[in-house]
Structure 1
């Protein structure tokens, strides 16, 4: 998941949490206000009821008239006037027990059960005591709360949608310099390492640009060093080796076959040839690490390339037994095309097939070609000595040779070179191996249509 998307989601989650908390506070205080307001209305009715029924006079008649004309009649409103007994105690006439006890103990109380509200107080009249209770329902208050809940719900949904799009716009704006930086970095290859990133200000993006520029300085120096080595090594190293080899060959021809000098000269020639092979492998390995744009890129039929590679192997190792399996190739020939350098790909496939033949002691090697998800898959499977499981991770390290390969000639350059070439073509290599059972190497290359 991209950081831009993460920021959008985190912004959305934080804003949603704040909205939920705000809505909860609004509902809570609305409940409290609504209930308190209704209880005040009930308390007013308790006082008026006590005045009218216990202290009748001219004013109480006015109270009665005002109440009847101007006070709203509450739903299920009910008045109760309860006189205490001779002992001064009250008998519960069916009121909620908690409410009744609270009024008796405190002199007044409020109580709510579901949507039924109660308010009451004890009033003294002469030597007598009276319990005045008014109860009613509050459907309008409940409806008001329900409407508020509906408004808050739809407001919450709308706010979340707005926050989502605002978060996306916000993160898009914040990451604009990062995208610009990424686009610029993607244009830099080994062929234009002199390019640098522009940076202004003193923010984190400027620091990142400066870090990239420092890295590019080091990379440019390293590539120039490698380029100079590869450019000069052919002449500076191969020429002396060629002269040595020619002089040794001339000396061998002038010595007797069974002489000690002949044996020494033959050894020198053999080691010189070996050194030349190692040098050629190293130079090719270094060259294969260059940017692909420097190579001669073209469209290649992979099945034809495989036949060319097999032909090259058989010229070097005539005793090789290679079987080709093209049963799974598609009818559409366009899917067999890959983009790349024919010579480099030929070298990579040849190295892998050659290794399979050599380390299987020239038993059957199967080369299979298939297409899957716009990827060309070349499988080279042998019945050879295999690779120990603990050493599989090292086989693409230059000059590394498995512990069971001492009886076979090699320099440990072929597979690293093949991997470099395949990576240069934006592909990958997979390997499965078991000691004394064989090795299966799969080469994955993107089809040209991809």
Structure 2
């Protein structure tokens, strides 16, 4: 409203300025011709009227001559004081509030006055109408924007609802469900991440379940033996008690070794399993070969050693080599060759143990790397965890373990250790063979 008042005052000042310019730029014989000319030339706005007075003579533009304002007593009473001096006043009429502004003129002794009449209510009605229109348009626009926002939000959140519904159907007993992947946005990336997490969880749960099943199967036999002998034990026979005691202690020792192996495999996935340090591969190979010579009466030798330094845990590497050497002893006879060796290849150090024993049947080459995996024709004892432990140690270093499929005359087991261990990666399939450009046989 303040801006409306200011505009009205500017319009009044403009009329008075035009009136003053006309009065000073031409020669007039009194106030009557001046007012007559000005009112004839000037066309007022819709919310404005012009009124002139010289003595008792009134000057009213022809288009507004029928306006009854000039006949209303409230107008006559308000305009009378303005004819003698410049000023303004406001009156209330049946058409609303009216602003009266006057400017007097004196020419050749004849006095007159120009009165500018502004109908304020018309401007206010126009402003109110504009505000109402603006409010209606704004309200409708707001509702339209809200409706579009809800629609777009519904479309954007629809994949999240699908993710929620699918996630509710995934249980600890069934991790096979996967979230549908559609689009190429942040929600799609989140869905792929969740599916990857479910893949890892399913793999971990299946591995744990398989481990529990296999461990339960392996422990069932010694427990059955313990129970059977205890149930048949004649406690009054000292000799039978002594024999049963020795037998049960042997079975308990087997179970302890099984539990120790399982604990070791469980630790391979935990932080702190390895204590890395710079290791001389040649010295480590020679030291492991010296220790392995005490495992059995075999023709022990060293094929060759890698002249390189590798970042590794020397105790774990030695443990893996001795495990392979122990397996070689179990599958050979006195006089057979068992050799250890190491070599540098493509940024990794390869460690191996080979023997001239019976070798590994082709159908067993992958299965023997699995937990509790054994060859079909084996006659040795054990739980089938040795090669799984070797593989776990190699992969903890960022490498892998495999059987050299091209080696003839026995078996040759190889595992690799990168000189600079890379970030953890998904493991390769057990016994899948050596990587590219890795030597498959070292000659004695």
> What is the TM-score with the length of structure 1 in the denominator?
0.42
Kindly name which structure, 1 or 2, has the bigger radius of gyration based on alpha carbons: 2
> What is the TM-score with the length of structure 2 in the denominator?
0.43
Richer in helix (by share): 1
Structure of greater relative contact order (alpha carbons < 8 Å, 6+ residues apart): 1
